[in-house]
Structure 1
Amino acid sequence: MPNHSSCEKAPIFIVGPPRSGTSLLSAIIGSHSNIACGPETDLFRALPLRDVEQIVTGENWCEKATERMEEIKYPDGKSIAAHFGLTRVQLSEHLSNQAASAKVIYSSIPAAFADTQGKARWAEKTPRHLFYVDEIRRVFPDAKIIRIIRDPRDSIPSVIKNIGLSASLVGEFYRWASVYAKSEPFFRKDPDSITIRYEDLVTNTEEQIASICDFIGEEFEPSMLDREGANLVRVASETWKSDIDKKITAQNVYGWRSNLDVDVARAASLICCEALEQLEYPDPIKPEKEVKVFPLGENFGVANESHIIDCAKKGYRYTAIGDTYPESMSEALDLYPDVLLGDLPLGKRPSIRVRRSMHAISRIIMRFLSRKPVIVDPDINLGVGALNRMIGKVALVFGTRKTFAN
């Protein structure tokens, strides 16, 4: 007979930017006597919904789903299921006991894990599932989604120190602001989602946990404060999670005031101004002057870090127009013809970068010939690398110069 014990209540998804407290929160929730929470699955990114929908409508769906999930590996080479202490046989048996659906596939690992823990409900924590909340809601219409946020002036230095996604503080502040802007409409409208601040969780822990329990429909248990579920949440390769079972402290709240360079802090407070205001964080800085840039991805901050910091000293800010990054060079150069040209998406493969560079140059020249030249700031770089610099030089020759900083 199929075991549906782990599906009686709505699943819980914990999402948020990196180093915002997702691991701490998952350890707390996973310590509830009724809820199991293991390591990150990353399934909505690693196993796209369109692929899952094809699997469930085809033959041998159970075997194909098991095989696809076994192919998804952690950086240490182990499969996701292995990190949950599940074998391929256990995963296959769990799937085979149920009717084919996307919901069954995405829940298979956390639900099977909950069964092994003898718990009736499961929670799943993957920070980057913040990008997939629409898909989560589509597959799990009754899911409870919790977004945890931390002041980016505290979380971003921690990201660079512990995870190493980038060495550029400014680039990461732009990334954080973009992620927040893209996810905010969902959490503003979705009735089964909440946002909590890390600062509130560590300064008023018991009250915050009680409020979360009320949201997910569980009784608050004082044992959640002890976080006995912490060992089930982390894996050995994620050394930055080693302290999630230590004493909860507010020692690092707003540590940026003393730890972050004053000019970098000012730039961050400008870049993230709207989000800081909405989240009621201290000291947002409204720009005295700003210019819209398209496209503006994380490479814009990386390539122009010192210049952006210098502009911030004057209260100036470059900001994105639109909430999407371009799909093609034509979009980047044509979608907003009267907006300052930002960093161009060339890709990672050398052959693709060369082809897109040639395309960008031809589009810039065509815009010049059609008397609609691109607008370019001579003080900024159009991304990182030699090809981006070459495109920038061409844009300065065939485009209209607009100096922003002066």
Structure 2
Amino acid sequence: MQSDRPIFVIGCPRSGTTMLQLMLHSHPRIAVPPETRFVVPGYYRRFSFGDLREERNRRRVGRWIVSDKDTKFKELKLDGDRLIDDIVAGPPTLGSAMGITFRSYAEQYGKSRWGDKRPSYYHHVDLLTRLFPDAQFVHLIRDGRDCVASLKEMPWYTKDVFHAAVNWSEAIDYGRRHAKKLPADSYYELRYEDLTAYPETELSKLCDFLGEDYDPAMTEPYHVARVAIPQHKVWHSNTHGDVTTARAGSWKARLEPWEISVCETVLADRLVANGYELSGAPKASKTHVQACEKAASKRRWARRRKEIRDRLNRFREPSPVAARLTSRQLGELAKV
């Protein structure tokens, strides 16, 4: 039986996750839409929807996905009224409602399997596995110095270099935890540099992990960039061309000497562990190191408080959240 497990692409922002999204979307069986904004917010809003075993509450979920200005639903180009009806007719769980949305997106391309891409998902894997217990996660890792260099140039990134460096270190650390915690068939890592240098080899190995046959179209993702990348996202313009190694190592020209020192001082162990050579830059100043530590501490405690609240809230959920759509999900349900 061919797999119908959901696929989530994760990684530090500016790691090449959009390119990987397009590569997967180029597969004849897999559809991965532009970034959506309803999975994580919808999970945290689950109490406002009420018990989804009631039809009117499933309709409420559907209306929120379709109508809320922050969900990015319009970029899926789906019939909203039809989707709401499908959600109402579907299994009474939040994961099912969201899964039906992604499944509908895949169906409009004649595909039977869906995925989703959002870099920040790397710290929401526990949440995602609650919604989609059989999900597979693909973590794309890129040289942290290149990620920092790219992040600081983005019009939407309002933080400083210290926060950018911490963002990459977080993604790596979360990846280590996921690798230890998740089953081998649920979590996979690959490097951006390897993917761009040897796309056929790396995509073949990725397809083996996903339980799919490799398709050569995956190495030419620019063919689908026009339909899978919103035009206003000009920072993804590189995805409209050939897969190239030209951007690997570009941090050498894009970062100031002091910024290189910050990255190589704060990220040294993680860089080396992932196969990236250090340039030998002098150590960062104590002030800069402390700025990174302060950013890391602030992010860590904010996330920790949110995780604690969520674990307490799980005891009073109005209805089950796990999706009941795929063969594995239904198989697990039958065992209960």
TM range (shorter): 0.7 to 0.9
| Equivalent residues of 2:260, 2:281 under 8 A apart | no
Equivalent residues in 2 for 1:204-353 (5 A)?
204-227=198-221, 228-283=223-278, 308-309=287-288, 318=293, 324-325=300-301
| Equivalent residues of 1:199, 1:253 under 8 A apart | yes
Distance 2:303 2:166 in 1: 19
Q: Return the offset for 1:275.
A: 1.9
Other-structure match for 1:194: 188
Q: Which runs of 5+ in 2 are unaligned?
A: 306-336
Distance 1:188 1:284 in 2: 30
Highest relative contact order (Cα 8 Å, sep 6+), 1 or 2?
2
Relative to structure 2, which stretch is displaced further, 96-105 or 212-221?
96-105
| Equivalent residues of 1:213, 1:219 under 8 A apart | yes
Q: Which amino acid aligns with 2:210?
A: I
Other-structure match for 2:93: 101
1:42–1:285: structure 2 CA closer, same or farther, 3 Å change rule? farther
Distance 1:105 1:328 in 2: 28
| Equivalent residues of 2:220, 2:243 under 8 A apart | no
Distance 2:280 2:301 in 1: 25
Equivalent residues in 2 for 1:114-129 (5 A)?
114-129=106-121
1:245–1:101: structure 2 CA closer, same or farther, 3 Å change rule? same
Q: Return the offset for 1:321.
A: 6.9
Aligned partner of 1:88 among 61, 75, 80: 80
Q: Which amino acid aligns with 2:198?
A: N
| CA shift digits 1:73-117 (9 cap, x unpaired) | 35xxxx533211112112113213322112211212211011111
1:63–1:323: structure 2 CA closer, same or farther, 3 Å change rule? closer
Q: Return the offset for 1:164.
A: 3.4
Q: Which runs of 5+ in 1 are unaligned?
A: 1-6, 289-304, 330-406
SS in structure 2 at match of 1:69 = helix
Other-structure match for 2:321: none
Q: Return the offset for 1:131.
A: 2.0
Q: Which amino acid aligns with 1:37?
A: V
Aligned partner of 1:135 among 117, 127, 146: 127
Distance 2:293 2:140 in 1: 27
SS in structure 2 at match of 1:162 = coil
| CA shift digits 1:114-169 (9 cap, x unpaired) | 11111111111111122211111122221111011211211122112124323521
| Equivalent residues of 2:8, 2:138 under 8 A apart | yes
| CA shift digits 1:246-301 (9 cap, x unpaired) | 1111111112223322221011111112321321211187998xxxxxxxxxxxxx
| Equivalent residues of 1:84, 1:109 under 8 A apart | no
Could you tell me the percent identity over the aligned residues? Answer: 23
Distance 2:136 2:247 in 1: 28
**Backbone CA RMSD of aligned residues:** 3.1
When normalised by structure 2's length, the TM-score is: 0.79
Q: Return the offset for 1:175.
A: 2.9
Q: Return the offset for 1:215.
A: 0.7
Relative to structure 2, which stretch is displaced further, 162-171 or 29-38?
162-171
| Equivalent residues of 1:181, 1:323 under 8 A apart | no
1:62–1:318: structure 2 CA closer, same or farther, 3 Å change rule? closer
Distance 1:16 1:306 in 2: 28
Distance 1:171 1:238 in 2: 22
How many residues matched? 299
| Equivalent residues of 2:163, 2:292 under 8 A apart | no
Q: Which amino acid aligns with 1:26?
A: Q
Equivalent residues in 2 for 1:8-23 (5 A)?
9-23=4-18
Distance 1:327 1:22 in 2: 23
Other-structure match for 1:66: 62
Distance 1:327 1:37 in 2: 27
1:324–1:118: structure 2 CA closer, same or farther, 3 Å change rule? same
Distance 1:153 1:264 in 2: 9
Q: Return the offset for 1:19.
A: 0.8
SS in structure 2 at match of 1:25 = helix
Higher helix proportion (structure 1 or 2): 2
When normalised by structure 1's length, the TM-score is: 0.66
| Equivalent residues of 1:39, 1:232 under 8 A apart | no
Distance 1:325 1:155 in 2: 23
1:317–1:104: structure 2 CA closer, same or farther, 3 Å change rule? closer
Distance 1:317 1:161 in 2: 19
